[in-house]
Amino acid sequence: MTRYLFRRLFLMAFVFLALSLLAFSLGYLFPGDVAQNLSGLRQIDESQRQQLINYYQLDQNILQQYLAFLSRIAHGDWGLSFASQQPLLQEIKLLLPATLELACYALLLSFVVGIPLGIVAAFKPDSIVGKSISGLAMVGYSLPIFWWGLLLIMFFSLALGWLPSAGRIGVLYEIPHSSGFMLVDIMQADISYRSEALYSALLHLLLPTIVLATFPTTVMIRFVREAMLNVWEQNYIKTARAKGLNRGQVLYRHGLRNALLPVIRQIGLQFSTLITLAMLTEVIFSWPGIGRWLIDSIYQRNYPAIQAGLLVISTMVITINMLTEILHAFFNPLARRG
Amino acid sequence: MSKFRLYLEENNRSPVKQLWREFKRQHSAMTGLVLFITFFFISVLAPFITPHDPYLQVDELLLLPPSWSAAGLVQYPFGTDDLGRDLLSRMIKGTSYTFGFALITVAGALIMGLVLGALAGMSKGVKSSVFNHILDLALTIPSLLLAIIIVAVIGPGLMNTTWAIMVALLPQFVHGIRNAIDEELKQDYVIAYRLDGANSWQVLTRLILPNIWEKLTIMATMAISTAILDIAALGFLGFGAQAPLSEWGAMISDSLDLIYLAPSSVAIPGLLIFTAVLSVNLVGDGLKTAILKRRQN
Amino acid sequence: MNLPNNNFLYLKPVSVLLSILLLAGCQPQLPETARSGLVYCSEGSPESFNPQLVTSGTTIDIISQQLYDRLVDISPDNGDIIPGLATDWQVSADGTRYQFSLRDDVSFHTTRYFSPSRKFNARDVVFTFNRITDPLHPFHLQGGGVYPYFQSVDWAGLVKQVQAIDEHTVVFELQRPDSSFMSNLTTDFAAILSAEYAEQLLAEKQPAQMDRLPVGTGPFRFREYQKDILVRLYRNNDYWRGDTQPEQLVFDIVPNNARRMAKLFTHECDIVSYPRVAELELIAARPDVTVQESTSMNVGFWAFNTQKPPFDQLAVRQALSMAINRAAILQAVYYGKATPAYGILPPTSWAYNDGLPAPVYSPAKAKALLAEAGYPNGFTMDIWAMPVQRLYNPNALKMAELMQADLAQIGVRANIVSYEWNSFRQKLGNFEHDSVLIGWAADNPDPDNFFSPLLSCAARDTGTNRANWCDPLFDDIISQALLTADQQQRRALYLAAQQYLHQQQPLVAIAHSQRFQAISSSVSGVSINPYGGISLQHATRVEP
């Protein structure tokens, strides 16, 4: 395990090195002035430019510039946003929790719904239940998520008027910002309208969570179903059957454990998909998270923001991927090889 | 096969024929295939079969409802948009953009993937290890995110989107092809062929490629569905096809403003994207099952 | 909101959440702040919280009437000038000295970041206007030192000095008489700021906060701003005009038109700015929403960057003007809810020139003109289209698409360019465009409001002159008109100015539109000023 961990950490370090190189080069790849792209200042006069050149070591060789970049990132100086002229790191800190909140609930939902449905579908693959679950999974797998979100809004918000169409909470509820996670903030806030605010926040969460969870849920169903069917073919299952255990017992004692182990790895893989899909979901539901912010930044040609957004999102995705890989290896010694 | 058979021809059928036999048995896969072929022909023939010019603005016929409603016209089955353009023609033309470009994108990614994957699979040592690590990085970043970043750098547009998605799909192709080649290289017949004096190129073209094409096909179908969804998503976000191109995703975002007046102009392009992706996925799933069954026999 | 719970049950995934909801109580009562609060869905974020620094109607709607007062106001009924923070005023015989008596019972807002120790007085007025004119003023350069509206009317060249005679009397001395001076004071840009707050910020070395965390005297006080999400205001309980109704006023920022309408229909918004003209009938048919229509002085136009070739050639501009089918645009973009514009000034103005010829639509002539100008095969150009819906142009992108098709007829290949609204305006200000679809809504009834801020050389320096046009002859006419107090003479000059613009075509006027506001039926008392922002002081929610 130690050797495995060591190897993983080395790989991670390498990946982050490559990522930092990519992010660093973006400042030069983007159209426009490098000093502007790096600092985020909209207008730069001559004296300022000289200062910036010194600060970013633009007159030095490229290695120096890269090292300067790394030290800036480490010290939390990520430059300003073109659009708001506010420090980027500060903006991201405000937005990231909203995205994480949404992604976590959706991930949870996809597991809670996806795993049991996958097991049921694998248990009797040729029954009506099994087939309809597979069919539904196929449909959900093929849905363009932005269209699906629009359909739900059209139906539940516009036609029926049951659910709000946008935002995290009714705007008239003022919730003091502390952690950035809406539900946590509401519980912590000293306000007289806590239960009403909570109710409003949950209503706002409902549609985006469902939309965001759709794709991972179907992936989960398909994955679990296939894993179960695979396990079913293994000799140890046949042995267990031969020993006289019935289907349910075999499933419970041997099948589940072996089939669900790879699911741990799915957390990591699903998470990166979720973050991308969250960008679309946030746009559809005007959810004030980092995805919508990144998309807006692209509209605004806000290069410093795109660079910072890429760095944050990729770091998050890679870290979670690595963590789940390690977790998986911890439970499954076979995975430590290779 | 312990059972005695009088005629053995069946087992000597070519792998393609066997595959087709297994594929044909699945109704859902056949439905998918028919849809897929339909979309394919529409996207190729689009310029010749649109009933109207998809870009012609008819000032007298703004926001005409579909022909099944009372106020509609038979000549405009899906009605017109808010600039008086025929929606059916736009959707047919859109098939070329969304579906057709997805095919082109995947074909491009496949070819590049083959080259890089073969290089990676056939080489050994530090070079290959560095290459693999870079690949691992690219694989953790979802294709849509990667495509969005590329578009942010090179600017919006349908052509740029195609390039971006091609590059974004590349890592998974290279990864898959490399692994497949790796697996093949371990086979005894490869070693035997090498002992016969075959060089790497011969091994690759004579043995490996014929043995991995099934995997390639499945990879390609899965990539097509990703490509369609990504092209449409980028179009929807306004980074892909620009006005007046009638790419399906862009059509949805164009019609968003009309969601109350003409809900069908939002619903129908979405339904098309969905059907196209579904057809590809059905074919892909069918292929997977067919290959599995063929191997088992 | 009523929860019809049994209908939800088939949504399997949500049943877990739902049970929490049901446990939490079925039908929560709205808390006091929410019940008497109002939500206004705005089409964009404010650029700043100081009206002096902005021109966009979006920002003005959000901040001006709600947070600030002016020395004088315009009566929405007849356009007369009525007292605001000034109770009365005298003008000297030569028209260069204006003396105002001020109210003594007005307090600035008490907020989390400022508590006033004194009432409003003459020092605040002096501070407000010196900030604009005095380049050495400690606050002059805050926010970039650009005061677009005031610079476009050459305020610094006009006002010699602003002086406090005593605590409640202030005098403006002008370099020359100016017939639009009082009108300019009534605009939403001439909001009165607090000198005491400014001193406090200087002492704290935080001068930039002045325009971010505003302090005014208006019916509402500032609470919070979450960028691109919302602006929250609370009622100013000590408002000198009394009886402000909503306890809380939230500006929910929803740039997308369809989404704004969706929020109105789902009752997430009480008031929606700029409902889409296309949907007015649909909205009017709903029992829970009413549509307010009001005349407004505005013009939507297509401005050429006249410094960039080939738009520096008159023939090219004329050709482009002839190439576009205005009738189709009026139908497809304005849905007939606008009058075609012959010139820049709307027909409701007293200086309107009704002798201007109707614009010609003739692709053939346009092609001939282009050939004459040396472009027989046309050229490639950009049309910049505003990303947001404005009063004067409900859908610039659609208009651009129509024009794209029209221009293709004469061989001109047009690319449509659009950015997010604030970047769009910034880039326009730097004249990065070839041509732009934009417009202007009047801030006051004076005809000069359509000329100086839009097409004067002064306006070019501040970037509000979208045509990048500077013509000494034209500047002469309009400054002459300002020096003249006699309305007949002024009118003659403005007629000449309109005639000249028609010849020169720095921009192509397209339409004068009506202003619409969609309001939830449970809200009453919203008033729209024909010359500027919306006022929500008297808006109330009527319990059904």
Confidence (pLDDT) at C30: 56
Question: Quick one: pLDDT at residue C13?
Answer: 41
Residue A96 CA to residue B215 CA, distance in Å, equals 39
Residue B132: predicted pLDDT: 72
A276 in Cβ contact with A106 (< 8 Å): no
Q: What is the pLDDT of residue C390?
A: 82
| pLDDT tens per residue across span B81-94 | 888 888 899 999 99
Nearest CA in chain B to A308: B149
pLDDT of res. C29:
52
Query: Which site among C335, C388, C398, C418 would you substitute to test the B interface, given the most B Cβ atoms closer than 10 Å to its Cβ?
Result: C398
ipTM metric: 0.87
Strand C435-441, strand C298-304: pairing: antiparallel
Q: Give the pLDDT of residue B128.
A: 67
* CA separation for the pair A109, A216 (Å, rounded): 9
For residue C181, the number of C-alpha atoms closer than 13 Å in the C-beta half-sphere is 23
A253 is written with which tokens? Answer: 């004692």
Q: Give the model's confidence band at B30: pLDDT under 50 very low, under 70 low, under 90 confident, else very high.
A: very high
- Of C386, C541, C529, residue with least CA distance to C43: C386
pLDDT tens-digit readout, A173-227: 888 888 888 888 988 888 888 888 899 999 999 999 999 999 999 999 988 888 8
- Spatial neighbors of C39 by CB under 8 A, at least 6 apart, are A171, A172, C250, C251, C252, C268, C269, C270, C271
Q: Is the pLDDT of residue A155 over 60?
A: yes
- Residue B125: its pLDDT value, please? 65
Confidence category of residue C472, pLDDT binned at 50, 70, 90: very high
Of the pLDDT bands very low, low, confident and very high (cuts 50, 70, 90), residue B32 is very high
Query: Of the segments A163-167, A190-194, A298-302, which one has the largest average pLDDT value?
Result: A163-167
Q: Is the Cβ of C208 closer than 8 Å to some Cβ of chain A?
A: no
Supply the pLDDT for residue C19.
Answer: 43
User: Is B260 close to C395, i.e. CB distance below 8 A?
Assistant: no
Residues 6+ apart with CB under 8 A from C472: C457
Q: C282 in contact with B at a CB cutoff of 8 Å?
A: yes
- 8 Å CB contact of A298 and B229: no
Nearest CA in chain A to B129: A11
Instruction: Collect all residues of chain A within an 8 Å Cβ-Cβ radius of residue C423.
Output: 82-83, 300-302
Chain C residue closest in CA terms to A207:
C14
For residues C197-207, give the mean pLDDT.
Answer: 92
Tokens of C367: 């092609």
Sole residue written with tokens 């326009």: C428
Record: contact C332-B82, CB cut-off 8 A: yes
Q: What is the pLDDT of residues C303-325, one digit of tens each?
A: 999 998 889 999 999 999 999 99
Contact between B285 and B31 under an 8 Å Cβ cutoff? The reply is: no
Asked if pLDDT for residue C218 goes beyond 60, the answer is yes
Among candidate residues C255, B233, C227, B249, the one with its CA nearest the CA of residue A276: B233
H helices present in chain B, as ranges: 15-24, 27-49, 87-95, 101-122, 126-140, 143-154, 158-185, 188-195, 200-202, 209-237, 248-255, 264-296
Distance from CA of A158 to the nearest CA of C (A): 6
Q: Rounded to 5 degrees, what angle do the CA atoms C370, C375, C379 make?
A: 105
Touching A: B residues 276-295, CB under 8 Å: 277-278, 281-282, 285
Kindly state the helix (H) or strand (E) to which residue C41 belongs, with its residue range.
strand C38-42
DSSP codes, B30-51: HHHHHHHHHHHHHHHHHHHH-S
CB atoms < 10 A from the CB of A85, how many?
Answer: 11
Query: B62 vs C395: CB contact, 8 Å cut-off?
Result: no
The verdict on a CB contact (< 8 Å) between B270 and A144 is: yes
φ/ψ region of B269 (left if φ > 0, alpha if ψ in -120 to 50, else beta) reads: alpha
Query: What residues of C are in contact with residue B244 (Cβ under 8 Å)?
Result: 401, 404-405
Task: Determine which helix (DSSP H) or strand (DSSP E) holds A322, and give its type and residue range.
Answer: helix A303-331
Could you tell me which chain C residue has the CA closest to the CA of B238?
Answer: C418
Q: Determine whether C519 is exposed, middle or buried from the number of CB atoms within 10 Å of its CB (0-12, 13-18, 19+).
A: buried
pTM over 0.90: no
Instruction: Give partners of A (≥3 CB pairs < 8 A).
Output: B, C
Of the candidates B259, B274, B285, the beta carbon closest to that of A144 is on B274
Length of chain B (residues): 297
Pick the residue with more confidence: C16 or A143? Answer: A143
Reply yes or no on whether the pLDDT at C15 is more than 50.
Answer: no
Per-residue DSSP letter, A255: I
Instruction: Give the separation between CA C483 and CA B53, rounded to whole angstroms.
Output: 57
- Write the CA distances from A107 to A114, A275, B99, B237, C24, integer angstroms: 10, 10, 30, 24, 24
pLDDT tens profile C374-417: 998 889 999 999 888 788 888 898 899 999 999 999 999 999 98
**In sequence order, which residues have a C-beta less than 8 Å from that of residue C287 and are 6 or more positions away?**
C521
Give the residue from B25, B148, B230 with the most A CB atoms within 10 Å of its CB, the best one to mutate.
Answer: B148
B45 — pLDDT class (breaks 50, 70, 90): very high
Nearest residue, CB atoms, A26 vs list B136, B137, B153: B153
pLDDT score at B284: 93
Question: pLDDT at residue C18 above 70?
Answer: no
Q: Touching check for C405 and chain B: CB below 8 Å?
A: yes
Q: Tell me the pLDDT band of C251, cut-offs 50, 70 and 90.
A: very high
Residues C241-252 have a mean pLDDT of: 87
H/E element, C174? strand C169-174
Tell how far CA C518 is from the center of its chain.
Answer: 18
Q: Which of A327, A204, A208, A315 is nearest to A261 (CA)?
A: A327
Task: Using the structure block, give the residue that is written with the tokens 């008392």.
Answer: C525
pLDDT above 80 for C33: no
Q: Give the separation between CA C45 and CA C380, rounded to whole angstroms.
A: 33
Find the mean pLDDT for residues C215-231.
Answer: 91
Query: What is the percent of chain B where pLDDT is above 90?
Result: 34
pLDDT, chain C, mean? 86
Tokens of A95: 């937005």
- Percent of the residues in chain C that have a pLDDT greater than 70, as a whole number: 93
Residue of C nearest to B58 (CA): C328
Work out the percent of chain A whose per-residue pLDDT is above 70.
Answer: 99
Nearest-by-CA chain A residue for C263: A165
Residue C224 binned pLDDT confidence (cut-offs 50, 70, 90):
very high
The pLDDT of residue A298: 86
**pLDDT given for residue C28 in this prediction:** 43
Nearest to C30 among A161, A196, A217 (CB): A196
CB contact under 8 A, A153 and C262: yes
Separation CA B224–CA B282 (nearest Å): 12
Task: Mark yes or no for CB contact C419/A301 under 8 Å.
Answer: yes
| Interface touch C13/A161, C-beta < 8 Å | no
Q: Is the pLDDT of residue C23 over 80?
A: no
Chains with 3 or more CB pairs under 8 A to chain C:
A, B
CB contact under 8 A, B260 and C404: no
Residue pairs spanning B and C at CB distance below 8 A: 48
CA-based nearest residue in chain C for residue A174 = C232
For the cut 50, the answer to whether the pLDDT of residue C174 exceeds it is: yes
The pLDDT tens digits of the residues spanning C83-117 come to 999 999 999 988 899 999 999 999 999 999 999 99
Q: Give me the pLDDT at residue C27, please.
A: 41
Q: Using CB atoms and an 8 Å cut-off, which of residues 374-403 of chain C contact chain B?
A: 395, 397-398, 400-402
Q: Residue C273's pLDDT is what?
A: 80
What's the rounded mean pLDDT across residues A238-247? 80
Q: Which residues of B touch A283 (CB under 8 A)?
A: 237
pLDDT above 50 for A68: yes
Min CA distance, C146 vs chain B (Å)?
A: 31
How many CA atoms lie within 13 Å of A309's alpha carbon, on the beta-carbon side? 28
pLDDT-based confidence at B11, cuts 50/70/90? low
Q: How confident is the model at residue B9 (pLDDT cuts 50, 70, 90)?
A: low
Residues of C in contact with B261 (CB under 8 A): 278-279, 282
Mean pLDDT of A97-121: 92
State the count of interchain CB pairs (< 8 A) between A and C. Answer: 111
**What are the counts of helices (DSSP H) followed by strands (DSSP E) for chain A?**
14, 0
- Of the partner residues C279, C332, C404, the one whose CB lies closest to the CB of residue B261: C279
Task: Give C134: exposed, middle or buried? Use CB within 10 Å, 0-12, 13-18, 19+.
Answer: middle
Task: Output the six-digit token pair for C296.
Answer: 């407004």
Q: How confident is the model at residue C10 (pLDDT cuts 50, 70, 90)?
A: very low
Please write the tens of the pLDDT for every residue from C507-529.
999 999 888 888 888 888 887 77
The answer for C 85-144 residues in CB contact with A (under 8 A) is none
* Residue among C30, C266, C419 minimizing CB distance to A161: C266
Nearest alpha-carbon partner for C541 in C39, C89, C195: C39
Find the mean pLDDT for residues B1-26.
Answer: 72
Whether the pLDDT of residue C3 is over 60: the answer is: no
Distance CA B38, CA B33 (A): 8
B252 lies within 8 A of chain A by CB: yes
Neighbours of B158 (CB within 10 A): 18
CB atoms within 10 A of CB B4: 5
Total residues found in chain C within this entry:
544
**What confidence tens digit (pLDDT) does each residue in A254-293 have?**
777 777 777 877 778 788 888 889 999 999 998 999 999 9
Weakest-pLDDT range from A97-111, B43-57, C284-298: C284-298
- Paired strand residues for C414: C381
